[in-house]
Structure 1
Amino acid sequence: MYDNHQDLYHLQSKNSSYIIQLVRGYAAHVYYGPKLRHNGNLSGMLKLQERASFSPNPVNEDRSISLDSLPQEYPQYGTSDYRSPAYQVKLENGTRITELVYQSHRIYAGKPELPGLPAVYVEQDHEAETLELELLDEVTGLTAVLSYSVFSDFSAITRSVKFVNGGKETVELERALSASLDFADSRYDALYLSGAWARERHVQRRRLAPGVTGISSRRGSSSHQQNPFIALLRPETTEQQGEVFGFSLVYSGNFTAEAEVEQFGTTRLQIGLNPFDFSWQLQPGEEFQTPEAVMVYSDEGLGGMSREYHRLYRTRLCRGTHRDQERPILVNNWEATYFDFNADKIESIAKAGSELGIELFVLDDGWFGRRDSDNNSLGDWFEDRRKLPGGLKDLAERVNAAGIQFGLWFEPEMVSPDSELYRSHPDWCLHVPNRRRTEGRQQLVLDMSREDVRAYLYERLSDIFRTVPITYVKWDMNRNMTEIGSAAAPSYRQRETAHRYMLGLYELLEKITQEFPDILFESCSGGGGRFDPGMLYYMPQTWTSDNTDAVERLKIQYGTSLVYPVSTMGAHVSAVPNHQVERTTSLEFRGDVAMSGNFGYELDLTQWSETEREIAAKQIKDYKEIRGLVQQGELYRLLSPFEGNETSWMFVSDDREEALLFYFKVLAEPNAPLRNVKLEGLDLEKDYLLTTSGEIFGGDRLMAAGLPVSSLSGDFSSMWVQLKAVK
Structure 2
Amino acid sequence: MKFPKAYARRYLAILGVMVLAACGAMEDARAAASDSAAHIDVSGHVFRLDAAKVTYAFGVNEKGQLQSIYWGPRLASGDPLPTPVAPPGRDAIDGVVNVIPQEYTGWGEGLYYEPDLKVTFPDGNRDLVLHYVSNSVHDNVLSVVMKDIERPIVVTLQYEIDPGTGIVRRSAFIENHTETPVIVEQASAGTWILPRSHDYTLRYLAGRWAAENDIYERPVQPGKTVLESRRGSTGMQNEPWFAIRRNDANETHGQVWFGALAWSGSWQIAIEQDQAEQIRITGGFNPFDFGYKLAPGASLQTPSFYAGVTNGGMGEASRLMHRLELTRILPQAPHPRARPVLYNSWEATEFDVNEAGQIALAEKAASIGVERFVMDDGWFGARNNDKAGLGDWTVNPQKFPHGLKPLIDRVHALGMDFGIWVEPEMVNPDSDLYRAHPDWVLNMTGRPRNLGRHQMVLNLARPDVRAYVLGALDKLLSENQIAFLKWDYNRSWSEPGWPQVPADQQKNVYVDFVRNVYGILEELRRKHPNVEIESCSSGGGRVDLGIMRFTDEVWPSDNTDGFDRLRIQDGFTQAHTPGVMMAWVTDSPSSMNKRSMSLEYRFLSSMQGSLGIGANLTKWSAQDMATAQRLIADYKVIRETVQHGDLYRLMSPDNGSEHSATENVSPDKAHAVLFAFLHSSTEGYPYPTVRLQGLDPDARYRVRVLQGTMAERTPTVASGAYWMNVGIDVVMRGDFQGSAIAFDRE
Q: Do both share a fold (TM > 0.5)?
A: yes
Is the alpha carbon distance of 1:204 and 1:372 closer, same or farther for their aligned partners in structure 2, counting shifts above 3 Å? same
- Match for residue 302 of structure 2 among 283, 286, 290: 290
Distance in 2 of aligned mates of 1:269 and 1:297: 13
Distance in 2 of aligned mates of 1:384 and 1:87: 49
Partner of 1:681: 694
- Match for residue 734 of structure 2 among 700, 707, 714: 714
The answer (yes or no) to whether the contact 1:98–1:137 under 8 Å persists in 2 is yes
Partner of 1:125: none
Q: Which moved more, 1:32-41 or 1:251-260?
A: 32-41
Partner of 1:177: 188
Per the alignment, in what secondary structure is the counterpart of residue 20 of structure 1?
strand
The answer (yes or no) to whether the contact 1:186–1:261 under 8 Å persists in 2 is no
Deviation of 1:394 after TM superposition, in Å, equals 2.1
Give a deviation string over 1:403-451, Cα, whole Å, max 9, x none: 3322100000000000000000000111110001000000000110111
Deviation of 1:534 after TM superposition, in Å, equals 1.1
Partner of 1:331: 343
* AA of the residue aligned to 2:162: F
Give a deviation string over 1:188-229, Cα, whole Å, max 9, x none: 111111100111111111111111112100001101111111
- Match for residue 658 of structure 2 among 633, 638, 645: 645
The answer to whether structure 1 residue 369 and structure 2 residue 402 are counterparts is no
Partner of 1:63: none
The within-5 A match list for 1:307-456 is 307-320=319-332, 324-456=336-468
The answer (yes or no) to whether the contact 1:429–1:446 under 8 Å persists in 2 is yes
The answer to whether structure 1 residue 139 and structure 2 residue 150 are counterparts is yes
* AA of the residue aligned to 1:708: D
* AA of the residue aligned to 2:69: V
The answer (yes or no) to whether the contact 1:160–1:179 under 8 Å persists in 2 is yes
Partner of 1:167: 178
Structure 2, unaligned runs of 5 or more: 1-39, 706-713
The within-5 A match list for 1:94-133 is 94-108=124-138, 110=139, 129-133=140-144
Structure 1, unaligned runs of 5 or more: 57-65, 111-128
Partner of 1:631: 643
The answer (yes or no) to whether the contact 1:570–1:597 under 8 Å persists in 2 is yes
The answer to whether structure 1 residue 510 and structure 2 residue 530 are counterparts is no
Deviation of 1:284 after TM superposition, in Å, equals 2.1
Per the alignment, in what secondary structure is the counterpart of residue 505 of structure 2?
helix
Is the alpha carbon distance of 1:509 and 1:256 closer, same or farther for their aligned partners in structure 2, counting shifts above 3 Å? same
State the superposition RMSD in angstroms: 1.6
- Match for residue 34 of structure 1 among 70, 73, 77: 73
Deviation of 1:132 after TM superposition, in Å, equals 1.2
Distance in 2 of aligned mates of 1:95 and 1:258: 25
Partner of 1:48: 87
Is the alpha carbon distance of 1:256 and 1:451 closer, same or farther for their aligned partners in structure 2, counting shifts above 3 Å? same
- Match for residue 58 of structure 2 among 7, 17, 20: 20
The answer to whether structure 1 residue 213 and structure 2 residue 246 are counterparts is no
Partner of 1:75: 105
The answer to whether structure 1 residue 198 and structure 2 residue 210 are counterparts is yes
Distance in 2 of aligned mates of 1:540 and 1:105: 35
Deviation of 1:236 after TM superposition, in Å, equals 1.3
The answer to whether structure 1 residue 704 and structure 2 residue 725 are counterparts is yes
Per the alignment, in what secondary structure is the counterpart of residue 707 of structure 1?
coil
Partner of 2:601: 589
The answer (yes or no) to whether the contact 1:27–1:73 under 8 Å persists in 2 is yes
When normalised by structure 1's length, the TM-score is 0.93
The answer to whether structure 1 residue 155 and structure 2 residue 166 are counterparts is yes
* AA of the residue aligned to 1:106: S
The answer (yes or no) to whether the contact 2:453–2:491 under 8 Å persists in 1 is yes
Residue identity (%):
35
Deviation of 1:673 after TM superposition, in Å, equals 4.1
* AA of the residue aligned to 2:734: G
Give a deviation string over 1:271-307, Cα, whole Å, max 9, x none: 1110111111222221111010011111101111111
- Match for residue 541 of structure 1 among 553, 576, 590: 553
Deviation of 1:26 after TM superposition, in Å, equals 0.8
Deviation of 1:531 after TM superposition, in Å, equals 1.0
Per the alignment, in what secondary structure is the counterpart of residue 580 of structure 1?
coil
Give a deviation string over 1:132-183, Cα, whole Å, max 9, x none: 1111113211111111111222211000001111222322111000121232
Per the alignment, in what secondary structure is the counterpart of residue 326 of structure 2?
helix
Distance in 2 of aligned mates of 1:9 and 1:322: 28
Distance in 2 of aligned mates of 1:3 and 1:390: 65
Give a deviation string over 1:56-95, Cα, whole Å, max 9, x none: 3xxxxxxxxx111011101233313211111101011112
Distance in 1 of aligned mates of 2:107 and 2:222: 19
Distance in 2 of aligned mates of 1:667 and 1:674: 10
Distance in 1 of aligned mates of 2:438 and 2:335: 39
Deviation of 1:49 after TM superposition, in Å, equals 3.5
The answer (yes or no) to whether the contact 1:159–1:294 under 8 Å persists in 2 is yes
Partner of 1:604: 616
Q: Which moved more, 1:538-547 or 1:321-330?
A: 321-330
The answer (yes or no) to whether the contact 1:648–1:664 under 8 Å persists in 2 is yes
Partner of 1:668: 681
The answer (yes or no) to whether the contact 1:322–1:520 under 8 Å persists in 2 is no
Partner of 1:267: 279
* AA of the residue aligned to 1:703: M
Deviation of 1:334 after TM superposition, in Å, equals 0.5
The within-5 A match list for 1:452-463 is 452-463=464-475
The within-5 A match list for 1:48-67 is 48-56=87-95, 66-67=96-97
The answer (yes or no) to whether the contact 2:201–2:220 under 8 Å persists in 1 is yes
* AA of the residue aligned to 2:66: A
Q: Which moved more, 1:75-84 or 1:206-215?
A: 75-84
Deviation of 1:3 after TM superposition, in Å, equals 5.5
The answer (yes or no) to whether the contact 2:499–2:506 under 8 Å persists in 1 is no
The answer to whether structure 1 residue 481 and structure 2 residue 493 are counterparts is yes
Per the alignment, in what secondary structure is the counterpart of residue 706 of structure 1?
coil
Distance in 2 of aligned mates of 1:85 and 1:522: 35
Is the alpha carbon distance of 1:43 and 1:296 closer, same or farther for their aligned partners in structure 2, counting shifts above 3 Å? closer
Per the alignment, in what secondary structure is the counterpart of residue 676 of structure 1?
coil
Partner of 1:118: none
Per the alignment, in what secondary structure is the counterpart of residue 67 of structure 1?
helix
Give a deviation string over 1:436-488, Cα, whole Å, max 9, x none: 10000000001101111121122221112112121111000000000001233
When normalised by structure 2's length, the TM-score is 0.91
* AA of the residue aligned to 2:446: N
Is the alpha carbon distance of 1:303 and 1:425 closer, same or farther for their aligned partners in structure 2, counting shifts above 3 Å? same
Give a deviation string over 1:631-680, Cα, whole Å, max 9, x none: 11111111111041111111111111111011111122222145201111
Per the alignment, in what secondary structure is the counterpart of residue 461 of structure 1?
helix
Distance in 2 of aligned mates of 1:474 and 1:694: 45
The answer (yes or no) to whether the contact 2:177–2:296 under 8 Å persists in 1 is yes
Is the alpha carbon distance of 1:714 and 1:498 closer, same or farther for their aligned partners in structure 2, counting shifts above 3 Å? same
The answer (yes or no) to whether the contact 1:249–1:292 under 8 Å persists in 2 is yes
Is the alpha carbon distance of 1:439 and 1:90 closer, same or farther for their aligned partners in structure 2, counting shifts above 3 Å? same
Distance in 1 of aligned mates of 2:424 and 2:563: 32
